[in-house]
Amino acid sequence: MRGIIIASFLILQSLVVFSSSSPPDFNFFYWVTYWPGAICDSQKGCCPPPKGNMASDFMIHGLWPQFNNGTWPAFCDQTNLFDISKVSDLVSKMEKKWTEWGVWACPSNETKLWEHEWDKHGTCVQSVFDQHSYFLTNLRFRQKLNLLNILKQKGIKPDGGLYGLDEIKNAIKCAIGFAPGIECNEDVKGTKQLFQIYICLDNYAKEFVECPYVPDRSCASKIKFPKFPKKDSLGESLSVISSV
């Protein structure tokens, strides 16, 4: 009987150890989307997505773990690199919401972008996500948060006009409760324009949180919201986010 009790205790102990999970060793996430018009309206230009998805909308860039001190982990596990077979059921949605506008080279290659996002950022969050849940979480936030509609409802439209940086941030804050970070680039004339939006999430990517810091220094007080590119105006060159 004593042996049975000990054996049972050891089995229970092993189950507790196996089922316990250590908390993430980073502090929060940036969930980042980009506006294709800002890539195509830059000095470097862009190229259309290979699947022909030309829907006017913000596109997912990625989900990036961050530390509160302004640094971040990267390329954490070379033994678990991107495997498209693990997200095969998500590919059709990713081709619509996570499209490639020349992030790496023309012609565009979505798989390279997805591979880069997992290998650089996803491998550092395996205490929270496997490959499938990492990409699924990105898609779910994209479905939950329609940034273009949020901005349009406040009269902020991709018409090539200038809008206040605080006006854009406040429009999104009204929708999610927290101000985002805004990253700008420059058009061919040197005008600062809306490029990427950074939404901060807790370190389990479940809730919106206040951003400990945001990359707003690249913007002016008023920034351009460039028009969505027309297919016949697209160049054949690298985009501005190839190193991100």
CA-to-CA distance for 114 and 124, rounded, in angstroms? 15
Q: Supply the pLDDT for residue 216.
A: 72
CA-to-CA distance for 88 and 83, rounded, in angstroms? 9
Looking at residue 208, the DSSP 8-state letter turns out to be: B
Mean pLDDT lowest among 71-85, 108-122, 160-174, 186-200: 108-122
Residues labelled catalytic: 61, 117, 121
The pLDDT tens digits of the residues spanning 190-207 come to 999 999 999 999 999 999
Q: Supply the pLDDT for residue 234.
A: 52
Please determine, for residue 20, whether its predicted confidence score (pLDDT) is greater than 60: no
Tokens matching residue 54? 């030309």
233/183: higher pLDDT: 183
Mean pLDDT across 12-31: 62
**197 has which bridge partners?**
33, 182
Instruction: Please state, for a pLDDT cut of 70, what percent of the chain lies above it.
Output: 78
The whole-model pTM stands at 0.84
The pLDDT tens digits of the residues spanning 85-128 come to 999 999 999 988 998 776 555 666 678 889 999 999 999 999 99
- How many CA within 13 A on the CB side of residue 6? 3
100 close to 112: Cβ distance less than 8 angstroms: yes
Residues 6+ apart with CB under 8 A from 169: 179, 180, 182
Please determine, for residue 241, whether its predicted confidence score (pLDDT) is greater than 90: no
Q: pLDDT averaged over the chain?
A: 83
Q: What domains does the chain contain, in order, with CATH numbers?
A: 28-242 (3.90.730.10)
Cα radius of gyration (the chain): 21
CA-to-CA distance for 219 and 79, rounded, in angstroms? 38
